[in-house]
Amino acid sequence: MAALPPYVGPLGRTWHYSFRVICGLILMFLITPILVIIPLSFNAEPYFTYPMPGLSMRWYQDILDNELWLLALKNSVIIAFFATILATTLGTIAALGLSRSNLPYKGLIMGLMISPMIVPIVITAVGMYFFYVKLGLTNNLLGLIVAHTVLGTPFVVITVTATLVGFDHSLTRAAANLGANPAGTFFKVTMPLVLPGMISGGLFAFVTSFDEVVCVLFLGGVEERTIPRQMWSGIREQISPTILAVATILVIISIGLLTSLELLRRRNERLRGIKAT
């Protein structure tokens, strides 16, 4: 922590430390509901209260022994993987188009692109259901992949567009003058520079797909269970600490993804010559 400047008075020092205490209390208020479930996932008994009579890995083993959880895990990974690939590809292409200064109605197009983030997910899911049912995209994994691609693409558009804000377009013009075709210019010049934004957007798209439950409830059938849907069904049908074990695994995955995003942010700042904080 940086030392306070010598000209800061007693009132300024008091506010300095009080502000940090307030921020710490707010952070604890936000993360305590998440931290509480982690120890309970190791409870030896099927209770959701403290104190715990003992520790056990039985609920994690139950994930491996339960066919429904394994099916949900497989479906979640398949859907999230392909939705992330599609969202990253489409979002990057859209961001490249939106970065052009001569693009007409840029604000309107940008608003339409990020609308899935703004419109309530229930409304989006209902609209998808009535549209996809006519295309035969309900009760199958393909429909869920397409739906999750729609939800994840705005994150890629935003992150890649932010990366392109300081992009030096003279590099692409120089590549074209040297004889490079548009595809070669993109893969050898543009893509390495916007790659941190693409990866960040892809990670956000992956998390969005992995945590989505509303669209799955509308579009998925019995065989299209995902982890969030299985957790939702477990809460409604039979409350089991297995749900807490799955939630703990999801928390660990989220922490890993957030750490990756932070490392990418610092790398991007180093590439831009900005001192990382």
Total residues found in the chain within this entry? 277
The stretches in the chain having pLDDT less than 70 are 1-3, 166, 237-238, 268-269, 271-277
Residues sharing a CB contact under 8 Å with residue 21, sequence separation 6 or more, in sequence order? none
pLDDT at residue 23, as a whole number: 93
174, two tokens? 């120089």
Among 192, 207, 196, which residue's Cα sits nearest to residue 258? 207
Query: What's the CA gap between 19 and 27, in Å, rounded?
Result: 12
Among 61, 63, 84, 85, which residue's Cα sits nearest to residue 74? 63
Query: What's the CA gap between 248 and 75, in Å, rounded?
Result: 19
Judge residue 100's burial from the number of C-beta atoms within 10 Å of its C-beta, 0-12 exposed, 13-18 middle, 19 or more buried.
Answer: exposed
Residues sharing a CB contact under 8 Å with residue 181, sequence separation 6 or more, in sequence order? none
Q: Categorise residue 183: left if φ over 0, alpha if ψ from -120 to 50, beta otherwise.
A: alpha
Query: What's the CA gap between 44 and 61, in Å, rounded?
Result: 12
> What element of type H or E holds 1?
none
Match 């996809």 to its residue by tokens. 132
Task: List beta partners, residue 43.
Answer: 55
What residue ranges define each of the domains in the chain, with the CATH number in brackets? 66-272 (1.10.3720.10)
pLDDT at residue 241, as a whole number: 81
H-helix segments, 9-105: 10-40, 58-65, 67-98
